Amino acid sequence: MAERFDDGRPDPVVAGIDGSRSAVEAARWAATEARRRGLPLRLVHAYAPAGRDYPSLEVTAAEVREAMRETGIRRLDAAGRAAARAVPGLDVTTEMVEGDPRAVLVEESRRAALVVLGSRGLGKVGQVLLGSSGLALAAHGQCPFVIVREGDARPGPVLVGVDGWPSSAAAVRFAFQEASELKTSVTALRTWSELGPGRREARRLGGSKVVHDSERRALAAEVSSVASEYPDVPFGCLVVRGRAGRALREYGERAGLIVVGTHGRSALAGMLLGSVSQGLTRRAPCPVAVVHSDTRK
């Protein structure tokens, strides 16, 4: 059953709109997800307030804010039309918010079932905003979020990265929930490197096969505990020697959704879009969902 606002309305799927083509694609993807979940869709555009006048341009702060509002309205209208074409009849609302996009999205996540972002902003400035917004959601967000690129949406199994951190358990559960609703399968992927903790000694004692078999057993145990709750979802476990980001991108070529976890809400969360997930969101062949270990959803 969906979580609910205090006023009794179901928590919506929220899409952040910045005017980029990938944000419009995110609105379409979010509309389809909202329909599947039986939830309303909320499109949000945030803009930083103008704090001063610009005498050299003969423009006041009030005029700048009004221009930004008008631009935001046009962007929301375009995204709303795209969502309506994707899912006719869906309950869609739009919201203009004056404030730091990072803070706005974190606040939205407190009453959202899911937050959806496009992967590319408007030029370098937009990319920085997306990156910082993603990091803010990684560190402080209260629900899972999905990053969608233009042209990403497609059918396929759910691929989930499992690395043994607590967030992996939440990511695995999210993956099975999505696969159950989508009537598809789950592939759980774990990677290992000979440079990892205890791996060199294990290789010295028994070789790569010992390490590989140990990782496979650990992965199977972690995934099976969740899979037993979803008997309708076929699943498989895959262990690969190498880098996690590269393996997820490679096997993601056949997936409809990639799911990864964060390493908590501490400073470590800052690694999220700086390592594995950054590479995924820039080059992943399908949408990427990021799930917290202590998410409320």
pLDDT tens digits, 63-108: 878 888 899 999 999 999 999 999 999 999 999 998 888 889 889 9
**Residue-range domains of the chain with CATH:** 13-148 (3.40.50.620), 158-291 (3.40.50.12370)
And the tokens for 144? 């899972």
Write down the pLDDT at residue 185: 97
- Beta-carbon contacts of residue 118 (< 8 Å; ≥ 6 apart): 16, 18, 20, 21, 22, 23, 24, 25, 26, 130, 147, 148, 149, 150
Write down the pLDDT at residue 271: 41
Asked if 215 and 239 count as a contact pair (C-beta separation under 8 A), the reply is: yes
Q: What is the pTM of this model?
A: 0.81
Write down the pLDDT at residue 1: 35
**Three-state DSSP class for residue 175:** helix
Write down the pLDDT at residue 211: 78
Asked if 134 and 166 count as a contact pair (C-beta separation under 8 A), the reply is: no
Bridge partner residues of 257 (DSSP): 158
Asked if pLDDT for residue 266 goes beyond 90, the answer is no
b (16+ CB within 10 A) / e for 223-234: beebbeebeebe
pLDDT tens digits, 243-261: 888 888 888 888 999 998 8
**Three-state DSSP class for residue 276:** helix
Least confident window among 13-22, 102-111, 134-143, 193-202: 193-202
Mean pLDDT along residues 158-175? 85
* Proportion of the chain above pLDDT 70, given as a percent: 71
Mean pLDDT along residues 207-226? 85
Write down the pLDDT at residue 293: 72
* Proportion of the chain above pLDDT 90, given as a percent: 38
Asked if pLDDT for residue 274 goes beyond 70, the answer is no
What confidence tier does 157 reach under pLDDT thresholds 50, 70, 90? very high
The region, left, alpha or beta by phi > 0 then psi within -120 to 50, assigned to residue 145 is beta
User: Higher confidence at residue 136 or residue 103?
Assistant: 103
Mean pLDDT along residues 205-213? 70
